[in-house]
Amino acid sequence: MPTATAAAQIHAPALLAEGISKAFMSGDQRTQVLDGLTLSLDAGELTLISGPSGCGKSTLLAILSGLQKVDSGRVQALGSELGQLDLRALERFRLQHTGFVFQGFNLFPALSAFEQVELPLNHMGLSRNEARRRAQQSLEEVGLAHRMRLRPSELSGGEKQRVAIARALAKEPELLFADEPTSALDAANGQMIIDILHRIARTHGTTVLCVSHDPRLVVHADRVLAMEDGRILSDRRPAAPAASDQEIPS
């Protein structure tokens, strides 16, 4: 029978932010971006943070992923307090445990889709065979097995974003962060991207946190947090099915 400590660890949130605040200075002007925000996220769910531009969504994502430090409060990720890690430990944590998907894809023009996905795996200490296996498997999972030898200039916007997701997925991260992943895509490709992100959360047990002001995504998330002026105004679970599970092209 598990001890009370073990039971607490089993049910501990994957991400926990307590009373976090963040402000930026521009000359003499101080802008409060996050204001005492508290948030708890569980593994295996796609959580969407929605809200107007400038409400603090991307700053919150950067703080929860360890890319930025808080002015006050604390962030705990997978049991580690990010504010207590030095720069090298923080970089190691992000490399080993997190994946990122951005609005602009962040692909290298000279590399094929396969090479894009394989590249970060080479920095993780994996064998060449394991890195190649993971890269191929991840591209297959997002429906790009037949396009893996193509470069970004030969891919559509939706395909580029799927390569970016495969690159993050190949690391087998416990935490996956997506910053406006559909804003550069049409409705059909945006739908496909959010379905893939939800499938990753469900089948891999990954904590997926997506920030977006795209209202189309709301019904496809397990949980929706609405932000405004650096605070969470509402926290709800849409009644509609979280994902359409549309078939990914192979």
Tens of pLDDT, residue by residue over 17-26, are 999 999 998 8
Q: Are strands 98-102 and 175-179 parallel, antiparallel or unpaired?
A: parallel
Burial class of residue 80 in the structure, from the number of CB atoms within 10 Å of its CB (0-12 exposed, 13-18 middle, 19+ buried): middle
pLDDT confidence of residue 11 = 65
Q: Does 244 score more than 70 pLDDT?
A: no
More confident residue, 36 or 2: 36
Helix (H) or strand (E) holding 157: helix 157-169
Q: Does 12 score more than 60 pLDDT?
A: yes
pLDDT tens digits for range 123-148: 888 999 999 999 999 999 999 999 99
Q: What's the CATH superfamily of 15-236?
A: P-loop containing nucleotide triphosphate hydrolases (3.40.50.300)
